[in-house]
Structure 1
């Protein structure tokens, strides 16, 4: 049964490709339909490879992994998860969702199957509201936490892609930009509140950088002054005059009446 379904999907995909090669540019709906058919064929193939029925009605055990050295590992690997086929098109016209953009009912779309977002393939905008954003971008650009993405109801759905930075890293989780923007407005209350929080955090980072630079320059000036101090007057007892406060440098200073030595210090 699975082989028959896969053959039908392959035949349908080949027919679509042959008809679509007549034009140089494929529409968004055609690309989405090809992607759905490819995913269905892969899911059916993976489901058949996970557990193949034996001729006597039993199941054939999965082969042991080949380590290349002739020895089997101590830990038995977990069985591969069973592939889940994409949802089938909605046959009943009364139950079909309506597109948020064109308001027309549709039987199936990539955004609805992957993210539960009711937008048809014809209205899909991969460069705008329907672009995919990474988990890191969702946290940095929209000021969201992991709990806002995973725990706040309803949890945002995502698709997984192989990490391009290396196979040892975990898969990337990609979210729909429109849903991330809606979640950010829900968390912060409004777009204006989100923008104000962005500005506040940017000002805090700028102040932190400025204070760090000021402290380094202050320490450098003190080191230079100490190196220029006359060693011959090391045993001299200073008699300082009244202290003076420098608001720009946020420090106090006083001058010795005899040798002119300037002592700078801070107060807690």
Structure 2
């Protein structure tokens, strides 16, 4: 293999110290940007081919299958950088509200501080509801969700219908129901308030429909009045002679006014 000619080595040797320093800075900057995107790969994730990716403030899991799984961002009084470790000592373990057994760790407890183990997690009772649904269905206000102690935890996720909208805040349905009972006192009082609001909404809709109908009738009446009685310049048709009355008449083409007269 022929060695490179001295002519090809001249450009590299001709680089100044400032140019070589600028090239080294660019290389270090590119390396730092590359390393900033890959946060870490834990031993358990490395065996499964999964690594955690961080771009800006967004965290996701690279499954290696051609897509990223977005992590839930927990909105809690104290931010959690990672899922807490399981509680080993039985004296510190919470008791499940469903089966009344102690458990070291669960998704609902770690994410929402709700003492239900993974075995008792129900798809309906422990489903996630949006903040709008929590306020409309259970008649809660922002202060009931955020200010009343203890504040309900939630997870934030991107809006699947409108990417530019704010992130959705999702709550556990069972916790929202319990908060509604605490606010309204009982399920019967909550149902009565629902019926009262439904009745008021129906009455408001009926009054609005009556106002629209009344306005429509007034518009029709005013248009008829303007067309029939408003002063205007008549446009008469050809005159007609009535032999029995010995007079002439002509009719306005716009308003139907009949003008009779005699000719001398």
Runs of 4+ in 1 over 6 A off after TM superposition: none
**What's the offset of the Cα at 1:222?**
3.1
Query: What TM-score do the two structures reach when normalised by structure 1?
Result: 0.56
CA distance 1:219–1:112, shift in 2 (3 Å): same
Q: Which whole-Å CA distance do the structure 1 matches of 2:199 and 2:185 have between them?
A: 21
Bigger fraction of residues in strand: 2
* Structure 2 residue 190 is matched with structure 1 residue 154: no
* Structure 2 residue 99 is matched with structure 1 residue 102: yes
**What's the offset of the Cα at 1:133?**
0.3
CA distance 1:212–1:110, shift in 2 (3 Å): same
Larger Rg belongs to? 2
Task: Provide the secondary structure at the position in 1 that maps to 2:171.
Answer: strand
Q: Please give the root-mean-square deviation of Cα atoms over the aligned residues, in Å.
A: 3.0
CA distance 1:83–1:201, shift in 2 (3 Å): closer
* Equivalent position of 2:120 in the other structure: 123
Q: Which whole-Å CA distance do the structure 1 matches of 2:222 and 2:166 have between them?
A: 53
* Structure 2 residue 125 is matched with structure 1 residue 89: no
* Equivalent position of 2:42 in the other structure: 6
Gaps of 5+ in 2: 1-38, 59-78, 232-264
Query: What TM-score do the two structures reach when normalised by structure 2?
Result: 0.57
* Equivalent position of 1:197 in the other structure: 193
* Equivalent position of 1:206 in the other structure: 202
1:221-247: CA deviations, max 9, x gaps? 3333344456299xxxxxxxxxxxxxx
Q: Which whole-Å CA distance do the structure 1 matches of 2:230 and 2:99 have between them?
A: 88
Task: Provide the secondary structure at the position in 2 that maps to 1:129.
Answer: coil
Q: Which whole-Å CA distance do the structure 2 matches of 1:113 and 1:134 have between them?
A: 19
* Equivalent position of 2:221 in the other structure: 225
Count of aligned positions: 170
Q: Which whole-Å CA distance do the structure 2 matches of 1:91 and 1:139 have between them?
A: 38
Task: Provide the secondary structure at the position in 2 that maps to 1:159.
Answer: strand
* Equivalent position of 1:169 in the other structure: 165
**What's the offset of the Cα at 1:83?**
7.3
Task: Provide the secondary structure at the position in 1 that maps to 2:84.
Answer: coil
Q: Which whole-Å CA distance do the structure 2 matches of 1:232 and 1:9 have between them?
A: 85
**What's the offset of the Cα at 1:169?**
2.0
**What's the offset of the Cα at 1:205?**
1.1
Gaps of 5+ in 1: 15-37, 51-81, 234-268
* Structure 2 residue 129 is matched with structure 1 residue 133: yes
CA distance 1:227–1:166, shift in 2 (3 Å): closer
